[in-house]
Structure 1
Amino acid sequence: MQSSLLSAAVVSALALSATAVAGDLRTSSPVVRAQGLLNGPATSLVRRDSADQFIAKDVVVDRNGNEHVRFARTYRGLPVIGGGIVVHSRNNQIKSVTQTLDALARPNIVPTVDKDWAIVEAGARLGSEYNFTKSPTSRTVIYARGDAAPKLAYEVRYQGVKKDQTPTDMHVIVDAHNGKILDKWDRVYTAKPGPDGPKCANPTAATGVGDALYLGEVELGTGECSNGFQLIDPTRGGGWTSNMGNRTVGLGTAFVDSDNVWGNGTNTNSQTVAVDAHFGVSSTWDYFLEVHGRAGIANDGKGALSRVHYGRNYANANWSDACFCMTFGDGNGSSVGPLVELDVAGHEMSHGVTSRTADLIYSGESGGLNEATSDIFGAMVEYRANTEGDTPDYLIGELVFRQDPSLPYQTALRYMFKPSLDGLSPDCWSPDIGGIDVHYSSGVANHFFYLLAEGAVVPDGWGEGTGANLTAADLVCNGNTELAGIGRADAEQIWYLALTGYMVEDTDYPGARVATLSAATDLFGADSPQYAAVAAAWSAVSVE
């Protein structure tokens, strides 16, 4: 179960001297400035072909006025996977450019393999684990991940449901010249009695009270409709929570209540886990808005859907770009409870933020960084909410587990201070880490973040004389037991700016070190204690 848990821009056909811009970013002053720099002073910094064009995707202006403008790349109109760049400037002066594409060569864009054959080949490679519910699609792309020269490829997309009920949106990269499978990843990011009624169209903002499964009594943002109250939050972009009624298809139906008092704290009431999910997602919304100035997942003020009671005995939760929604299962009925814990909700919603910013590809080291980002922000949401029912900590998903009697310590999905406690996640980086499941390779970045925030300090209840018997030496990979933390407030700002301002689709662990050091420089200065702490924390997990 742990191996799977938690998991249209309009392009103008412009010449090289005129970078294409997407949608409402066209009039953004930072984008206009970045365009000028990209086609002027920054030209020599960008590894580009004369037929490359760039499409503005996102803008971040940090608290010190540094502008970070993210662009997607195309080559002769074809999307370049792994070709994204970020232009960093201040006062219209170029500072640097972040990019992972090194090669200047571009492939022949006339395919020798038929697109339909590629679809069949991709489907055959996926095997019988998947039940596809939609016809597969394919688009021609340039695949530019890793150190090899960019290749012409087909990105084949299969959508459906896995045998374990997890939704899937598989993307398979097939070489358009020799038919080889180059890569694959899922765009559904996993962590893990009848309808109430239709969703209200124009609810009036209200405040309800819920009795949650894990958190006890909490306050809820709800909507008042003609037929009663619903779990729709007009104050947070209209985000809403639906009841899947154990189905696996569709968006679910709205919960309706007459008195705006929800759940009873147990699974005997179908509203109870909806309370946890609704509160968790609203807490995550508040975290990103109040801590990072981000208005919702896409920074556009629009809320997302949360689906509860998904499937039967489904011990998982996930984020899906396709439906812009989070999905929560009810657990397996024995060892795993409903997947609606606060940090799990924060984890899944944070996948959406990553998707709308760095868009870290969900395989290899970038996939591990994607997962870690969700763990990091899930933990920070838990600390900010600081509820009595879920004591803040660096454990992920601990409340959904029934205690394992074979373990002398609390069972959790992940242990950020000592990832290897799960028996699968490495504490330290190694050159082959990109070959393991992204839920385990994430451990190195989780470990880094804990050390950055807290230092080489054993959490309460995990030291000598406890079941874990951890010492400071157990928390570092290089023997630096004097490592000091900078606190969560500075650490979370550094990681957020690194994600939104410096990481790109194919960022690896060494690239993450560079990204966080750059973020620390922008926020605190290159001579600051925070900068030194970032460098020391990465060294403590063997990322140099």
Structure 2
Amino acid sequence: MTPQFATPGTTPRRTVIRAAALAASAAMVVVGVQAGTASAAAEREAGATAVPQSASQRAADIQAAQAGADTAAQEIGLDGKEKLIVRDVIKDADGTVHTRYERTYEGLPVLGGDLVVHKAKGGKLKGVSKATSAKITVPSTDAAVAAGTAKKDALAASAAADNTKAAAQSQRKVIWAATGKPALAYETVVNGLQADGTPSELHVVTDAATGKKLYEYEAVETGAGTSMYSGSVTLGTTPNGSTFDLADSGRGGHKTYDLNGGSSGTGTLFNDADDVWGDGTAANRQTAAVDAHYGAAMTWDFYKNELGRNGIANDGKAAYSRVHYGTAYVNAFWSDSCFCMTYGDGIGNTHPLTALDVAGHEMSHGLTSRTANLRYSGESGGLNEATSDIFGTSVEFFANNSSDIGDYLIGEEIDINGDGSPLRYMDQPSKDGRSADYWSKRVGRLDVHYSSGPANHFFYLLAEGSGTKTINGVTYNSPTSGNVTVTGIGRTAAYKIWYKALSTYMTSTTGYSGARTATLQAATDLYGANSTQYQAVATAWTAINVK
């Protein structure tokens, strides 16, 4: 059999069925929220939940906030040399408004200067979440180090990271405020290729007074998961004359392209004569596109139905997907520069990395960049990766797809390790041999895919609780620091708290301590400071040694 796909706007509705590449059978487990007074908790949650916005409403809110940005800067005590640039406006049902800003100093972007202003209904200031508490000031905005010197050093940093085909694409003068004392600096972006063929977009920040490298991070955010395992699915396609394009007009116009082994551009938009796509095998080029397109659709639906978000950027516009990147490329990645997801075909070009949790993971990197913009290095980078694992996993459960059952295993089908083991484990991250179960001072020095471990562990504990349990046929045994006992509150409450924290309280520099504060505030907003959910959040952080 072949999969069923629907074509929005056509009559009659066309459906076709594709056989699953793999089959699995297990009933979904419904986890209830454990709250003291259900009606009171529901009322509070409703009041603190973000109100869905149309693209035009969001644009109008941002425009209005920008018109009042100077007044807001004065209200929160910024220096006259500082200006605020609105990135996002979120309105809660109870009238609270959260306005996210970037900051400039004498016209220069302040990296690590982002902040969120929280105002109650009526305009009273409730508080400010800042990426830095330091006063933004520098002795001069004239650089002592030549721009060319900073560019040369950035190219050297790219070479040291084993990148190839490196070329400096852009450079700008900035104020660096994410770590230490604010300093005049250059931000140089170097493009190239990472060792495994992933594109590189390395950002290098150089002190403009001393020439010292202050920071670097890789902006192309990678991840891995299952592929070809979504079974019989429905896709949004668009008529094109007598043929059909893989373009989903019902979800912001998301399109899926065939790179055909290339590594740049968009490639060719998938088109089919009869609206019957793929056959469940890697040999059919459409199969990877089916899974990528379906994964993007489920992620869009999860954001909209569960989080009240209208697409990645909350503006009603879709990203796009590219499949068949390179040759035997064993990864997938999100890039802000193209606002797109890209998938390789895996080992031997037989395991495309195009499944549900992969799509959710990659699109959620885009979500993070449009909200807290957690920098992809150190603890904030680990939280960035964990956010993608958290929402990728949540999308997998949300889809309720019998061929790819929801679980807390990352990359469980693709067999990258060659022994059938998952790429990552949320219940006990250290089972992969590299990730940390608990927070410690060394966590920030790990690769971001492994410093994500404590946050993944936190989410699992918050949703499901500690100890041994079997969910959808998978047995988990989640340990805790100090043998703390954690009682789960259910996935829905857990991901709503994480999203609320990410979208309204976290900033670009948030680390584990800041994430604890942000999620406790989110739990307070949604369920109350004395709620079961609030106490569970506090206990789950203690259980991973964040106190």
Question: Could you say which TM-score interval applies, normalised by the shorter chain?
Answer: 0.7 to 0.9
Q: For 1:435, give the aligned amino acid.
A: R
* Percent of residue pairs identical: 48
Give the structure-2-normalised TM-score: 0.85
Name which structure has the greater RCO, CA cutoff 8 Å, separation 6+: 2
Q: 1:105, CA displacement in angstroms?
A: 5.3
Question: What whole-Å deviation, never above 9, does each CA across 1:426-469 have from its counterpart, x for those lacking one?
Answer: 00000121111000000111111111111114342899xx9x8x
Q: Secondary structure at the match of 1:183?
A: strand
Structure-2 change in CA distance of 1:83 and 1:149 (3 Å): same
- Give the alignment partner of residue 290 of structure 1, picking from 279, 282, 305: 305
Structure-2 change in CA distance of 1:266 and 1:105 (3 Å): closer
Distance (whole Å) between structure 2 residues aligned to residue 486 and residue 178 of structure 1: 51
Contact in 2 for aligned 1:119/1:137 (Cα 8 Å): no
Q: 1:422, CA displacement in angstroms?
A: 0.5
Q: For 1:330, give the aligned amino acid.
A: D
Distance (whole Å) between structure 2 residues aligned to residue 232 and residue 125 of structure 1: 40
- Give the alignment partner of residue 102 of structure 1, picking from 123, 129, 133: 133
What is the RMSD computed on CA atoms of the aligned residues?
A: 2.2
Contact in 2 for aligned 1:63/1:523 (Cα 8 Å): no
Structure-2 change in CA distance of 1:35 and 1:111 (3 Å): closer
Residue equivalent to 1:437: 447
Q: 1:164, CA displacement in angstroms?
A: 2.0
Indicate whether 1:484 and 2:499 are aligned: no
Residue equivalent to 2:497: 494
Q: 1:102, CA displacement in angstroms?
A: 2.0
Distance (whole Å) between structure 2 residues aligned to residue 112 and residue 132 of structure 1: 29
Residue equivalent to 1:139: 172
Q: 1:29, CA displacement in angstroms?
A: 5.6
Q: Secondary structure at the match of 2:256?
A: strand
Question: What whole-Å deviation, never above 9, does each CA across 1:44-99 have from its counterpart, x for those lacking one?
Answer: xxxx4331111111011234432211011111111111111101121122111101
Residue equivalent to 2:148: 116
Q: 1:156, CA displacement in angstroms?
A: 0.2
Matches within 5 A, 1:228-247: 228-247=243-262
Residue equivalent to 2:271: 256
Distance (whole Å) between structure 2 residues aligned to residue 515 and residue 27 of structure 1: 23
Segment of structure 1 superposing worse, 394-403 or 296-305: 394-403
Indicate whether 1:447 and 2:457 are aligned: yes
- Give the alignment partner of residue 362 of structure 2, picking from 348, 352, 355: 348
Question: What whole-Å deviation, never above 9, does each CA across 1:460-499 have from its counterpart, x for those lacking one?
Answer: 2899xx9x8x65xx52112113x11111111111111100
Q: 1:189, CA displacement in angstroms?
A: 0.6
Structure-2 change in CA distance of 1:124 and 1:27 (3 Å): closer
Q: 1:383, CA displacement in angstroms?
A: 0.5
- Give the alignment partner of residue 175 of structure 1, picking from 190, 202, 207: 207
Q: 1:303, CA displacement in angstroms?
A: 1.0
Question: What whole-Å deviation, never above 9, does each CA across 1:275-324 have from its counterpart, x for those lacking one?
Answer: 11100011000100111111111111111110000000100000001111
Distance (whole Å) between structure 1 residues aligned to residue 508 and residue 145 of structure 2: 26
Structure-2 change in CA distance of 1:30 and 1:529 (3 Å): farther
Q: Secondary structure at the match of 2:229?
A: coil
- Give the alignment partner of residue 540 of structure 1, picking from 539, 543, 546: 543
Segment of structure 1 superposing worse, 325-334 or 173-182: 325-334
Question: What whole-Å deviation, never above 9, does each CA across 1:388-422 have from its counterpart, x for those lacking one?
Answer: 111101111211116744xxxx5111111110010
Q: Secondary structure at the match of 1:261?
A: coil
Distance (whole Å) between structure 2 residues aligned to residue 461 and residue 382 of structure 1: 14
Distance (whole Å) between structure 2 residues aligned to residue 34 and residue 292 of structure 1: 27
Residue equivalent to 2:437: 427
Q: Number of matched residues?
A: 485
Q: Secondary structure at the match of 1:110?
A: coil
- Give the alignment partner of residue 99 of structure 2, picking from 69, 75, 78: 69
Structure-2 change in CA distance of 1:349 and 1:459 (3 Å): farther
Distance (whole Å) between structure 2 residues aligned to residue 323 and residue 58 of structure 1: 20
Distance (whole Å) between structure 1 residues aligned to residue 347 and residue 380 of structure 2: 30
Contact in 2 for aligned 1:155/1:171 (Cα 8 Å): yes
Q: 1:366, CA displacement in angstroms?
A: 0.5
Q: For 2:340, give the aligned amino acid.
A: C
Q: 1:32, CA displacement in angstroms?
A: 6.4
Distance (whole Å) between structure 2 residues aligned to residue 26 and residue 416 of structure 1: 38
Runs of 4+ in structure 1 over 6 Å off: 30-35
Q: For 2:479, give the aligned amino acid.
A: L
Segment of structure 1 superposing worse, 533-542 or 101-110: 101-110
Residue equivalent to 2:526: 523
Indicate whether 1:317 and 2:332 are aligned: yes
Distance (whole Å) between structure 2 residues aligned to residue 289 and residue 356 of structure 1: 15
Matches within 5 A, 1:46-445: 48-91=78-121, 92-104=123-135, 106-107=137-138, 108-127=140-159, 129-132=162-165, 135-146=168-179, 148-192=180-224, 213-333=228-348, 337-401=351-415, 404-405=418-419, 411-445=421-455
Q: Secondary structure at the match of 2:413?
A: helix
Distance (whole Å) between structure 2 residues aligned to residue 27 and residue 427 of structure 1: 40
Q: Secondary structure at the match of 1:262?
A: coil
Question: What whole-Å deviation, never above 9, does each CA across 1:135-172 have from its counterpart, x for those lacking one?
Answer: 532100111112x2111110001123224210111111
Stretches of structure 2 that go unaligned for 5 or more consecutive residues are 1-57
Q: 1:259, CA displacement in angstroms?
A: 1.0
Q: Secondary structure at the match of 2:100?
A: strand
Q: For 1:430, give the aligned amino acid.
A: S
Q: 1:118, CA displacement in angstroms?
A: 0.7
Question: What whole-Å deviation, never above 9, does each CA across 1:349-379 have from its counterpart, x for those lacking one?
Answer: 0000101111111011110010000000000
